[in-house]
Amino acid sequence: QKMSKPIGNVISPFDMVDRYGLDATRYILLRHVHPVDDSDITWEKMDEWYTANLVNGLGNLTARIMKMAETHLDGPIELKTLPPITNRLMDKFYFQLALDAIWKVVQSQDEMITETVPFKLVKEDKEAAVKIIESLVWELYGIAYGLTPFMPETSQKIIEAVKANKKPENLFKRLEE
């Protein structure tokens, strides 16, 4: 059913910002709402996207990586300026595809942690674990850099955490039932 003011099923972007925050609202609209075609969107779906992709996805990944870095690295990694990983897609206004590409990196980093288990490896082979953690931090920095045009506040929080070699406060609050 299409949204309509008389029916009363319109979702206000202001209500979305109140519920999810500005960066998360940008993410939901740019990744999950088609720019010109109809989109099937409900509060339940948005809650699911927010929780799965932001709270449990990007937020959890950032916390895990930066906690390992804070605990096991002597200091921040050396950083260089990166070109956004989504330049070609952004140039053509393919925001959904650009965010999909970033989330593939988020997923691959989660998989890398699961496969290599650096927080356990550090007890057996600290040098190898440190290299993995440094790689994870570097990729997280790349993710943050790529998110800059979509989620500038979140991107900045992650970049600051990487530069300080500290786990940030939770990036996204859990939704209350």
DSSP H helices, 117-149, are: 118-124, 126-147
pLDDT tens track of the chain, all 177 residues? 555 556 656 788 899 999 999 999 999 999 998 777 777 888 999 999 999 999 999 999 999 999 999 999 999 999 877 665 667 787 788 899 999 999 999 999 999 999 999 999 999 999 999 999 999 999 999 999 999 999 999 999 999 999 999 999 999 999 986
Tell me which residue of 158, 145, 164 sits closest to 60, measured CA to CA: 158
Residue 97 burial by Cβ neighbours in a 10 Å radius (0-12, 13-18, 19+): middle
Helix (H) or strand (E) holding 32: helix 22-32
The pLDDT of residue 80 is: 79
d(CA 141, CA 139): 5
> pTM value?
0.89
Give yes or no for a contact between 142 and 105, defined as CB atoms under 8 angstroms apart.
Answer: yes
**Residue 97, SS3?**
helix
